[in-house]
Structure 1
């Protein structure tokens, strides 16, 4: 059975509310539920994964800290960052978690290559890096063979909050963004669309607009 991959553009949304929506979608989906990609932008928030250590939040200040159910440590989301959530039936696709992580990373690497930016993976540290600085982070949760959460790509944002945490649990980890690497690529909406299309192509699924 071939099901189209549905792209939902949700705009700027509260993180906790979006998390609850992802959990509800995953819990209610059935064997015939199409997979979905959600493009969002979040209000400023630090998120701690299942194994996230509070000590990696150095100085949250007025930015809320939300404990969530993805893998990984702490990261920051804020305006100007593309967040692409992948709500996929891994069992139906015959896709393992490791392969999905590689696919998510490759979507970013391919997107950046199209902008003449050389990006790479770091073994043991999921995400995408440019000259040692992290430009994309990812984390996933699998429930009943279906996944949610996904990846974030820094496009044109205030990077200062990253200095208030140990990004992904690494003290002093440098972060970067597209605006500093390709000044013409600063529109999060356009970059988000390209990233979603890149991921859909790697998953081998047609991408259509949906709810």
Structure 2
């Protein structure tokens, strides 16, 4: 369990003082098998559909090695036979192509009701990118967007991937920020279907970077960008 789990609500006071903002529960589950996190998301989304007034949630966690493919992704972006893969391969309902998750990569799953924000998927994607860009700025790194693509790059390296699913304006899936992972797993795929842009990590630019610190910064940036009141779950 990281230091984030020991933070109290007072640590987020600058973002709790706004009146009339949505509450957002923040969960940290450590390293969680992908299927368990997926089941948790689906269960929460189902509850939110039944009761749209439920508070929002943000899951911050890591996964054991796993490849995930969006619902319409092309298997030609896999450089191996998925039937013979030693690493789990999962096709899911998010958009986008294949990506890779592993320890050292911070994954965020916001479950938000966009009816309380903006009913605009492009807006939502840009907001998620903005969260990452603000975190990078804490390390004096310039996060950039590339027109026509989704994600965040630093000096030409893609450090954050984003893939979402929205149903009845309730979101699931989210973003993956490469903090200090073993990037070798990306060599077996064409990440996000983009063959001409390399994948990178924050550790390349900030040696010794700590996951626990990045996790805190992501939570604070998320609260700032979406103007929510963070509640430690």
Partner of 1:37: 58
Partner of 2:172: 148
In the alignment, the residues of structure 2 paired with residue 66 and residue 173 of structure 1 have an alpha-carbon distance, to the nearest angstrom, of 24
Number of aligned pairs?
Answer: 209
Note the C-alpha offset of 1:172: 4.4
In the alignment, the residues of structure 2 paired with residue 126 and residue 94 of structure 1 have an alpha-carbon distance, to the nearest angstrom, of 19
Q: Which has the larger radius of gyration?
A: 2
Which of 188, 194, 199 is the matching residue for 1:170? 194
Which of 8, 11, 18 is the matching residue for 2:37? 18
RMSD: 1.3
In the alignment, the residues of structure 2 paired with residue 58 and residue 44 of structure 1 have an alpha-carbon distance, to the nearest angstrom, of 16
TM (norm. structure 1) is: 0.95
Residues 84 and 196, structure 1, Cα contact 8 Å, conserved in 2: no
**Larger strand percent:** 1
Q: Which runs of 5+ in 1 are unaligned?
A: none
Note the C-alpha offset of 1:153: 0.3
Note the C-alpha offset of 1:173: 3.0
Residues 42 and 79, structure 1, Cα contact 8 Å, conserved in 2: yes
Q: Which runs of 5+ in 2 are unaligned?
A: 1-19
TM (norm. structure 2) is: 0.86
Q: Where has structure 1 moved over 3 Å in runs of 4 or more?
A: none
Residues 63-95 of structure 1: per-residue CA shift (max 9 Å, x gap): 111001111000000000000111000012234
Residues 139-164 of structure 1: per-residue CA shift (max 9 Å, x gap): 11011110011100001110011111
Partner of 1:58: 79
| Aligned-partner SS, 1:70 | coil
Note the C-alpha offset of 1:108: 0.7
